[in-house]
Structure formats: C-alpha cells, structure tokens
Chains A and B, each alone.
Chain A
C-alpha cells in the first residue's frame, strides 16, 4: 500500500516521514555510498524543503515503512537540473509540463526479497505502479530519473524499460544514467502484471485527499 504525502503536510505524518529519512540514509549513504548529507540518522536534502510529493510504501498495518520515492516537476527546481546537469550533454535540459522527476527511490533491503514467481519485491512493484498511477491522474506523459544500473534492471524486470537519454557516468560508486519511463495505462498494466499487483496500490485515504476520488 502506498501513502501519498505532500511535502507541505510532512508535520502531520512525523513517524512515516522520519522512517523515510532514516531509510534513505541507510540506502544512499551506507549501501550506495552516495555523497549525501546525513544528520542524526536522517538523509535530507534541499529538495525536501520545496514541497515534493512523497510516495511511501507501508506494510498492511500502515505503520512500517518499506520504501519511498519522491516526485518533483521538471519545470521547477529538480535534481537533474540543479545537482546532476553534467549527466546530460551540454545545453540539453529536460523541462516539460508533462514530465516529472522521481528521486530518492529506496526500498528496505531487509524486505527486498522478490515475491513468489516475480522479479521484484512487493514494495518496489508498488512504488513503481504508484508513480504511474499518480502520473496518470496528474496528466503526465513520462517520469524522468537519474537511475543506477541496478535500478534500470529493476525497471526492465518490472515491465517498464526506461529510455536512457544519457551515456552512463559514474556518480559515487554507481554507474548512472538519465532515463525516462512512460506514463500510460499500458505501462501501468505491464508493471501490475510483472509484479503481481491487482488494482490500485494507493491508500484509499490518500486518493481521497489528493485526487478527490
């Protein structure tokens, strides 16, 4: 199940948000060796201050955080533009009304075991399906991200092979590329099929709160 939290409403979900920051510290600093700032066990960057939309995968009780990803529009400040512009060939930018950026994709490694008969864990599949679901409701065409090789494999396995628009380059200890994946009913169906998901993964209260649906 995926809970949506608008950055401006972080204070209303202190437990989920701190678990998310802790999980990000564990993944990006400890596992991937990225040059991220961790304070008091929380990984927080400047984009957390500008009200992104957080997608948080939780267990069925809705309390334990299994994974997270965050979304930002490409018309405003975003990671590719402000932190990784060197990944794109000079003077190329990705800035579109219908493309958002996903960043800080992290899944708790202790539960990251693939489900029976599938390639990815439930949390990974749910997060990717949720990105597409939100994208469809928001009228997007694509979601862009700075992906490492491991994540590109996961996307392929999940039935949404990304379109890579940059040459792979090294960031920290990972080879990284800029990729786009499609937001469509078809790509949602592919992910649902590859990950064994039935119907919407969005928490009913989140859908009600943010989409009046």
Chain B
C-alpha cells in the first residue's frame, strides 16, 4: 500500500462521510454494510465491531458485525474462541487502543488461535479500540492490515483519530439499532438517600435514624425504589443503582 497516496487524500472527508452514514443507522443489517464500507474506504484488510453488556446486568450474547470470511466466524464459534481470543480478554479493561502484537503468544492456545486467524485471512497486523459507554456497556472496534510493519506504524499514526471517532459512532449506532437506551430512573432525592445509606451497609433502622425518618417512612421509600428499579430486594436495588450510576457510595 502506498501510504503517501493515503496521506494526500482527504482523510477528513472520508471520515465525515462515513460518520454521517453511521449516524443514520437504525437496523443491525445497516451496521453490517457499514463495516464493509469503512473497510473499503480505509483500505484495511478487515474491520469488526462487537458490543457487550447491553442494557442488562448479565453479559448477554455480544452484538457483532465483521468483514471476515464466514468460514473464520464458523471456525471461531465452533472452537469457542471467545474464551481464547486475547482481544476479548484484555481490550475491555484498557482505555488505550491495543495493537495485537502486544499480546503474549507463548500460550499454545493463543498461538494456535493467531496462526489459524492468519491462515483464514484475518490479516497480518491488528488493532482494537475499546469504547466505554455511559451505562456499563462497551464495544470493541477492530481493524486488520496486511502491509509491512513500517507502513502499519505510519498508518496507525495517520488514522488513529479517525478510528477512535468511528468506534464511538458505531457504538452509538449499535445502541440505537438494538433499542438499547439508557433506562431513565426518576428517583426522588429521598429515595436516592435511602439507597445511598443502604449501599453504605446501613440497616433500614439505621438509615431511618440518619435521615430522621420513621420506620414506616423508610418502608414506603424502599417499596417505591423497588418498583422504580424493578428490583426484588434492597440489595438488588443497590446493585442496579451503582451499576447505572444513580449513587456513588464510598468504597
């Protein structure tokens, strides 16, 4: 690949054009065609995008779109590579983009995984960008590249910003396409205080004393909290309140 040519074309236009399209996505199928288009526009070998932890407290099946060959995806699923893939293991805990050459490949499974990926045409170099969402959901935007090490370094330098922006736009489009919106919990100031003290380990009696509310008052607020948060008990409600950032109890 001629990096000079890439350098001279208008990176800005390429990005704003794509973003405009990504921003209009309403269905998952459109995400599929947009990863393909992004791949063509940026001249990379492959692009994939996966979203995790969407709107529930449990890890549900990730949403993913990719430009890899279907055979590789089948192979990946058959071999349960979600458990081996270092991208899935390490990228979510990072805020930095992760170059796949950073992975420790001494583990036999990891080594086999990358060599099979290479044979399946995934690409020579790889980069994964983590996206942290507002409510605990996160995504991984990955791209692969086939040219020389030198071109790869140059390419990353030129386009890292574009890929950061694209990653976040894909993330937001995925939330829209899957109707994952941040749940709106309208808790009163009192209800938040009750939750806060519960999160600090106080019993309802102690909370009542701290806030100067009767036992009945605490019971009343608690039942409202459970209804509003769709929780089965106060521990469940505290878990949800922390998860959705409604309260910030001390450690």
Contact = CB atoms under 8 A, between A and B. Distances in A.
Q: Are A and B part of the same complex?
A: yes
Interface of A: 6-8, 37, 39, 44-46, 49, 51-53, 71-73, 75-77, 82-83, 95-98, 100, 134, 137-141, 209-213
B20 to A, nearest CB: 15
The 8 closest A-B pairs by CB, nearest first: A76-B132, A139-B160, A8-B93, A97-B168, A139-B161, A212-B99, A139-B164, A212-B101
A51 B95 contact: yes
Contacts of B167: 97
B145 interface: no
Nearest to A141: B161
B165 A76 contact: no
Interface stretch (B78-86, B112-120, B243-251): B243-251
B94 A6 contact: yes
Contact of B132 (A46, A71, A75): A75
Interface in B135-163: 138, 153, 159-163
Contacts of B138: 76
A75 B161 contact: no
B131 interface: yes
A100 B251 CA distance: 24
25 contacts: A8-B93, A8-B94, A37-B250, A46-B251, A49-B251, A51-B93, A51-B95, A52-B95, A72-B95, A73-B132, A75-B131, A82-B245, A97-B131, A97-B167, A98-B164, A134-B96, A138-B95, A138-B160, A139-B160, A139-B161, A139-B164, A140-B161, A211-B96, A211-B99, A212-B102
A76 B134 contact: yes
Contact of B161 (A37, A44, A82, A98): A98
Interface of B: 90, 93-97, 99, 101-102, 131-134, 138, 153, 159-165, 167-169, 171, 245, 248, 250-251
Nearest to B153: A213
B184 to A, nearest CB: 15
Given A97-B164, A97-B168, A82 B95 contact: no
A49 B243 CA distance: 13
B102 A71 contact: no
Nearest to A93: B134
A97 B94 CA distance: 15
A134 B102 CA distance: 16
Given A210-B96, A213-B153, 5 more contacts: A45-B251, A75-B134, A98-B161, A98-B165, A212-B99
A53 B96 contact: yes
Contact of B94 (A51, A96, A100, A140): A51
A105 to B, nearest CB: 17
Contacts of B245: 77, 82
B248 A83 contact: yes
Contact of A44 (B101, B171, B251): B251
Nearest to B127: A212
B192 to A, nearest CB: 14
A46 B248 contact: yes
A141 B162 CA distance: 11
A210 B237 CA distance: 38
A50 to B, nearest CB: 8
Given A75-B134, A76-B133, A6 B102 contact: no
